[in-house]
Each structure stands twice: as structure tokens, then as C-alpha cells.
């Protein structure tokens, strides 16, 4: 029952996390597009009101005319919409999902003794430390160099180095899937912290200054804009780090940290092309697709690099073995040794049990998909299933999964 309830928590939290993430990313992408697409107003009344840029758009059968004031309008409107609960809800649901999936099962999901042999408790503490440490390093880089000449380039380079080091360290300490997820989570934590510590407080300060009749300091808007732009570049790297958990061939290789870095870099480059495209459209220039091309080339290079080597020509004995029918008894022996430790009458992870012949045949599709196609099970290969045993299951399933 406990496993069943955890599965429900997993489903509902994952659903909520995706919903809130869509809301946050959608609003973030829209406002980055809006900032990059604004044009200086030509109407005298708009200039008099302090409008710095405007945009005309058509959508849903109507026309829209959003306007941006710098530093702020002359008077506060009666209804002012804030954008922050999308960010907070995304982080809260994501951390809750991380807790249910990884922290409650740290011995299986965080720890891979082939990578680093340590206790689940220490692994949990280290994973939480990653989230805090990256935010501290990232924020320090922004504070130190964000307002200097060429500050954006310096900050970008510094953050890239920090992410590379964190990716390498995570891959040396945690199971492959956990390492990828943890790097994505630490960047996502920095994104939410940007909203919580900089963007929203800066906006509140501006409003407080307006209410007090004081001059509005433009630095608050500048800092908020800088952190908002950082967030839009972080988005695609975070998404690919989260999605990578479904693809064991990404997370399990000997150089998985480099795979993760290149995936995230490709995402950031492709995102930059879209940001630059918005600005080019306003200026009447050609769309700058060069960064997207580089990102795509990186992805293609990864596909070539990770492609499995062609198997050596099999010997006559191996060919004979490959054509020999696999008995149910052989498959059951493998499953009992490698799978039933976590899938039995007492413990049914993912609501899957494999302790009887009937259950093995009933779950044949799932066993084939998880152990042969994706190679995600056993988790972190804790029971040391061999490639020959996976091949045995493959031949059995593809021959119709015959019973005893």
C-alpha cells in the first residue's frame, strides 16, 4: 500500500509540476519576446505618459497593444498583476517530486555504489547542498560582475564554468539519472531564487518608492531584467536535464557529465537564437540562426558520439545459441535473481510483481521495455544483470513470451 500511495503522489506531483512549469515558462518566454519586440512609440500622448516601448499584436480574434514604462508609470494603476506564483509553485512541486522519488528512495535512486559508495543519508545531504551551493556561487558571480563593463559576458562565462564543474562533480558522486536531475534542479532553484530574492523584491521597492513620492531608482528594474534574461537561457537546459531521466543511454555512460553539458549548451544556444530573432525582427534584419545551427550541430555530434558500436561478428556457437528457443525456465531464473528483489509479493515497486510465472508473463511487455530496450532496470543495475541475460529476455519476448 505504501508503494501504491507513493505512485499516486508521484503522478499528482508530476502533473502539478508540469502544469505550473508550463505557466511559468509560458509567461517568461512571452515577456522576453515582448521586451525584445517593443518599438519606440510615435504618438505624442504615449511619450507624455512615459511609455518607452509598445507592441501591436493580433491573437484570438482581437488586437492587443501592450506598453512598457521605464522606469515606471507616473501613477500606479488600480489593478496590477504580479507574476511570481508560477515560479514558486513550479519549484515547490518540483522539490516535492524530488523528495518523493529520490529522497525517500535515496539508497536506490541517489546512490550507485559503482560510482560512489556512501550512505543514503549523506547522499541526501549532499544533494540538498548542491541546490544551495549553486545558488550561492551563481548569485555571487552576478553580484560581483553583473554591473561591470562586459558584465553579461563575464557572468555568462562564470556561470558556464560553475555548471560544468557541478555536472562533473554530480556524475562522480551520484547515480547517473540522479546526477542529471540534480544539475537541472540546482539551475531551476537558481531560477526560482532569482524571482524570490531579486525580481519581485525589486518591483516591490519600485512601488514603495512611487507610493512614498520618491524618485524611482532604475537599478531595481535593471537587476530584475538581468535575472529574468538569465532565467530564459536556463529554461531549455533545465528541461533537457529533467527529460534525460527517461533515456538511460544518456545518463549511464562513462562521460555522462560531458553529455549533460553539451545537451544543456545546445539548448541555451538554440534559445539565444530565438531571443535574437525577436530583436532582429523589430530592426528589420535577417533572423540570426547561427547559434541555433551550432546548437543543432552539437546535438547531431552527440548522436554520433553516443551511437552504439556495431557488434562483432558472432561465432558459429553464438549464432546457434541466438537461434535456439529460450525456455521460460531460463527467463524465470534471470528474473528471480535480478528482478524479484524489488518486485515480489511483499514489495511491489511501481505496482509490479514478478514472483510467479503468471505475473512474469503478464508483465512481459514492461520487463522487455525496462530491462532490454531502455536498460533502466534494475535501477543502477544494482543486481548486476548482464548483457547476455538482457539478450535472453529479448529473445524470449520477441518469440512471443511463451510460458512454462
Domain definitions of the chain by residue range: 2-37+71-306, 326-398
* All cell numbers assigned to 3: 508503494
Res 77: pLDDT: 87
Q: Which of 363, 362, 371, 366 lies closest to 392, judged by CA?
A: 371
Bridge partner residues of 53 (DSSP): 68
Res 1: pLDDT: 46
Average pLDDT of the chain is: 91
Note the pLDDT tens digit of each residue in 66-92.
999 988 888 888 889 999 999 999 999
Distance CA 99, CA 17 (A): 13
Mean pLDDT of the 51-70 span:
93
Q: How do strand 51-54 and strand 57-59 relate by DSSP bridges?
A: unpaired
Mean pLDDT of the 233-238 span:
97
* All cell numbers assigned to 389: 541475460
Report helix, strand or coil for 302: helix
Distant-in-sequence contacts of 101-108, Cβ < 8 A, 24+ apart: 101/10, 102/127, 102/178, 102/181, 103/127, 104/6, 108/342, 108/379, 108/380, 108/382
Residue 197 sits at φ, ψ, to 5 deg, of -95, -20
* DSSP3 helix / strand / coil % (the chain, rounded to 5): 70, 5, 25
Q: Rounded to two decimals, what is the model's pTM?
A: 0.86
Distance CA 330, CA 324 (A): 12
Report the b/e string of 250-286 with b at 16+ CB within 10 A.
bbbeeebbbbbbbbbbbbbbbbbbbbbbbebeeeeee
Torsion of CA 111, 117, 122, 124, to 10 degrees: -10
The listed range with the strongest mean pLDDT (100-109, 167-176, 212-221) is: 167-176
pLDDT bucket at 377, cuts 50 / 70 / 90: confident
Mean pLDDT of the 331-347 span:
89
pLDDT bucket at 318, cuts 50 / 70 / 90: low
- Count of beta carbons in the 10 Å neighbourhood of residue 46: 17
Mean pLDDT of the 338-350 span:
85
Q: Which of 140, 100, 136, 106 lies closest to 121, judged by CA?
A: 106
Amino acid at each position: 500500500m505504501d508503494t501504491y500511495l507513493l505512485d499516486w503522489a508521484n503522478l499528482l506531483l508530476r502533473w502539478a509540476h508540469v502544469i505550473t512549469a508550463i505557466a511559468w515558462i509560458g509567461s517568461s518566454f512571452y515577456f522576453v519576446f515582448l521586451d525584445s519586440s517593443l518599438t519606440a512609440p510615435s504618438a505624442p500622448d504615449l511619450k507624455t505618459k512615459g511609455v518607452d516601448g509598445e507592441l501591436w499584436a493580433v491573437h484570438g480574434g482581437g488586437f492587443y497593444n501592450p506598453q512598457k514604462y521605464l522606469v515606471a508609470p507616473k501613477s500606479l494603476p488600480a489593478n496590477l498583476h504580479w507574476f511570481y506564483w508560477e515560479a514558486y509553485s513550479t519549484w515547490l512541486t518540483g522539490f516535492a517530486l524530488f523528495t518523493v522519488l529520490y529522497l525517500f528512495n535515496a539508497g536506490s535512486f541517489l546512490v550507485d555504489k559503482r560510482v560512489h559508495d556512501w550512505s543514503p543519508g549523506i547522499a541526501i545531504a549532499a544533494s540538498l547542498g548542491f541546490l544551495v551551493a549553486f545558488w550561492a556561487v551563481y548569485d555571487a558571480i552576478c553580484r560581483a560582475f553583473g554591473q561591470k563593463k562586459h558584465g553579461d559576458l563575464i557572468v555568462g562565462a562564470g556561470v558556464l564554468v560553475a555548471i560544468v564543474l557541478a555536472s562533473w562533480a554530480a556524475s562522480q558522486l551520484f547515480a547517473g539519472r540522479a546526477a542529471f536531475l540534480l544539475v537541472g534542479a540546482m539551475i531551476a532553484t537558481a531560477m526560482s531564487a532569482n524571482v524570490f530574492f531579486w525580481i519581485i523584491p525589486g518591483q516591490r521597492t519600485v512601488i514603495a518608492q512611487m507610493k512614498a513620492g520618491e524618485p524611482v531608482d532604475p537599478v531595481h528594474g535593471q537587476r530584475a531584467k538581468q535575472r529574468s534574461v538569465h532565467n530564459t537561457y536556463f529554461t531549455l537546459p533545465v528541461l533537457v536535464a529533467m527529460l534525460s531521466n527517461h533515456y538511460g543511454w544518456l545518463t549511464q555512460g562513462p562521460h555522462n557529465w560531458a553529455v549533460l553539458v553539451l545537451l544543456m549548451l545546445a539548448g541555451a544556444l538554440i534559445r539565444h537564437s530565438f531571443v535574437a530573432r525577436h530583436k532582429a525582427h523589430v530592426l528589420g534584419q535577417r533572423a540570426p540562426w547561427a547559434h541555433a545551427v551550432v546548437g543543432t550541430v552539437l546535438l547531431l555530434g552527440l548522436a554520433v558520439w553516443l551511437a552504439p558500436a556495431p557488434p562483432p561478428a558472432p561465432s558459429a556457437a553464438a549464432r546457434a545459441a541466438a537461434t535456439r528457443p529460450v525456455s521460460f525456465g531460463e527467463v524465470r531464473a534471470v528474473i528471480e535473481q535480478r528482478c524479484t528483489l524489488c518486485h515480489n509479493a511483499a514489495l511491489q515497486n511501481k505496482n509490479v510483481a514478478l514472483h510467479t510465472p503468471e505475473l512474469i508473463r503478464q508483465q512481459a511487455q514492461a520487463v522487455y521495455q525496462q530491462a532490454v530496450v531502455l536498460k533502466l532496470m534494475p535501477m543502477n543495475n544494482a543486481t548486476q544483470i548482464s548483457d547476455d541475460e538482457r539478450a535472453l529476455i529479448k529473445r524470449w519476448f520477441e518469440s512471443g513470451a511463451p510460458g512454462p
